[in-house]
């Protein structure tokens, strides 16, 4: 059989073959780093037009490197969302920082995301100092930042000596097209890393656990967010069992709520974002001080 015919058959079966005729497009890796709560995950979701990373107004929402893929006919960018870089107060905090900083290597463009409403401070400078000079700065939340403050922050940020500076609003989408256009131009020629149409590279189980945690962060009181971990313990769609771990016995009641009210609300909200017919069974366990123990951190994948 000729090579051409073989490729034809493989293509018909849905495979793409590498080789001299393989399509080359602009493709590469972009990471989003910065302090907690500046809007990295919101921005990623906005860029992709798809929710791939959970968002909350509490710090430490993102705990992994979340890969979301922008897939276009002429380009593919793999975006890496990361935990916020902060002063660690536990073993988990240290691991989150490691997860974030490791996203600075082996990528084409690193983006430092800062909160436009806040002053650029020591935390941003610390992160910037560890980034390559050809990184870019993204000043987010311009929808709620007065213009003169935006200008002041951009001027201050210019001391980082980066390649480019973009004021955007992840919430409204303002400035995001310009940013994406620029990033595509910065991508080298390369292969499509993921099959066409891919938007994320993690499992459904992981995503369900994340959505449950997101909803817990939304309804739980201030002191809880850091203490919660979630994981899928049984996956037999439509039945999915999710373990919600808290650090102390006293937190169990808060997560469950009076008569199971909180847990029920969390289940309803998470299910709304999943394929129809999914049945979520949530159970709460106490994993004492799990944030400080390597073994428990491993168990939850942090
Ligand atoms: N007003 C406004 N709020 C934003 C914007 N981007 C993110 N936020 C809010 O900032 C908070 C933190 O967002 P998140 O994406 O989780 O930040 P991350 O920790 O950097 O990933 C959430 O309450 C978001 O709704 C924005 O462009 N404008
Ligand atoms: Mg995040």
Nearest CA to ligand 1 atom 28: 141
Q: Which pLDDT belongs to residue 17?
A: 55
The answer to whether 179 and 166 are in contact (CB under 8 A) is yes
Q: Which pLDDT belongs to residue 16?
A: 62
Average pLDDT, the chain: 93
Looking at residues 19-29, what average pLDDT do you find? Answer: 77
Which runs of E-coded beta strand occur in 159-297?
164-167, 189-190, 229-236, 239-246, 279-286
Tokens of 91: 């073993």
Q: What separation in Å is there between the alpha carbon of 22 and the centre of ligand 2? A: 35
Name the domain boundary from 142, 159, 190.
Answer: 190
In whole angstroms, give the CA distance from residue 224 to residue 254: 9
Domain-located, residue 280? yes
Domain-located, residue 113? yes
Ligand 1 pocket mutation pick from 36, 42, 179 by most atoms within 8 angstroms of CB: 42
Instruction: Report how many domains make up the chain.
Output: 2
Looking at residues 96-100, what average pLDDT do you find? Answer: 94
In whole angstroms, give the CA distance from residue 299 to residue 290: 9
Q: What angle do CA 285, 209, 222 make, to 5 degrees?
A: 65
Q: What separation in Å is there between the alpha carbon of 31 and the centre of ligand 2? A: 12
pLDDT above 60: residue 19: no
301 C-beta neighbours (distance < 10 Å), count: 11
Tokens of 67: 């890969």
pLDDT digits (tens, 9 = 90+) for 188-232: 999 999 999 999 999 999 999 999 999 999 987 767 888 999 999
- Give the orientation angle of helix 40-48 with respect to helix 176-186, to 10 degrees: 80
Looking at residues 35-52, what average pLDDT do you find? Answer: 97
Q: Which pLDDT belongs to residue 5?
A: 76
117 and 181 within one domain:
yes
CATH number at residue 262: 3.30.300.20
Nearest CA to ligand 1 atom 2: 141
Cβ of residue 39 lying under 6 Å from some atom of ligand 1: yes
Nearest CA to ligand 1 atom 19: 37
152 and 182 within one domain:
yes
250 and 278 within one domain:
yes
Least confident window among 1-15, 64-78, 243-257: 1-15
The answer to whether 240 and 281 are in contact (CB under 8 A) is yes
The answer to whether 42 and 143 are in contact (CB under 8 A) is no
% helix, strand, coil for the chain, step of 5: 40, 20, 40
Cβ of residue 76 lying under 6 Å from some atom of ligand 1: no
Q: Which atom of ligand 1 is nearest to the CA of 54?
A: 16
63 and 28 within one domain:
yes
pLDDT digits (tens, 9 = 90+) for 235-264: 999 999 999 999 999 999 999 999 999 999
Domain-located, residue 4? no
Q: What separation in Å is there between the alpha carbon of 250 and the centre of ligand 1? A: 30
pLDDT above 60: residue 140: yes
pLDDT above 90: residue 55: yes
Name the domain boundary from 190, 223, 247.
Answer: 190
pLDDT band at 20 (very low <50, low <70, confident <90, very high): very low
Cβ of residue 45 lying under 6 Å from some atom of ligand 1: no
């Amino acid at each position: 059989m000729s090579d051409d015919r073989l490729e034809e058959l493989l293509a018909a079966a849905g495979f793409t073959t590498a080789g001299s005729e393989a399509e080359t497009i602009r493709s590469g890796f972009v990471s989003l780093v910065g302090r907690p709560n500046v809007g990295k995950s919101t921005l990623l979701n906005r860029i992709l037009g798809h929710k791939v990373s959970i968002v909350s107004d509490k710090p430490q929402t993102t705990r992994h490197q979340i890969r979301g893929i922008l897939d276009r006919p002429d380009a593919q960018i793999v975006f890496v969302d990361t935990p916020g870089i902060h002063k660690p107060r536990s073993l988990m905090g240290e691991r989150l920082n490691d997860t974030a900083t490791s996203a600075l290597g082996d990528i084409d463009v690193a983006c430092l995301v800062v909160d436009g409403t806040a002053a650029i401070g020591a935390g941003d400078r610390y992160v910037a100092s560890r980034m390559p000079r050809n990184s870019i700065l993204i000043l987010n939340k311009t929808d709620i930042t007065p213009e003169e403050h935006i200008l002041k922050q951009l001027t201050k940020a210019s001391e980082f000596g980066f390649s480019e500076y973009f004021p955007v609003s992840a919430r409204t989408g303002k400035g995001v097209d310009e940013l994406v256009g620029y990033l595509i131009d910065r991508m080298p020629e390369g292969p499509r890393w993921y099959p066409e149409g891919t938007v994320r590279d993690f499992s459904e189980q992981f995503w369900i656990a994340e959505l449950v945690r997101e909803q817990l962060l939304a309804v739980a009181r201030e002191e809880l967010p850091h203490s919660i971990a979630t994981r899928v313990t049984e996956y037999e769609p439509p039945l999915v069992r999710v373990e919600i771990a808290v650090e102390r016995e006293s937190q169990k009641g808060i997560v469950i709520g009076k008569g199971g009210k909180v847990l029920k609300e969390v289940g309803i909200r998470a299910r709304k974002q999943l394929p129809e017919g999914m049945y979520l069974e949530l159970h709460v366990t106490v994993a004492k001080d799990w944030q400080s123990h390597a073994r428990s951190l491993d168990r939850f994948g942090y």
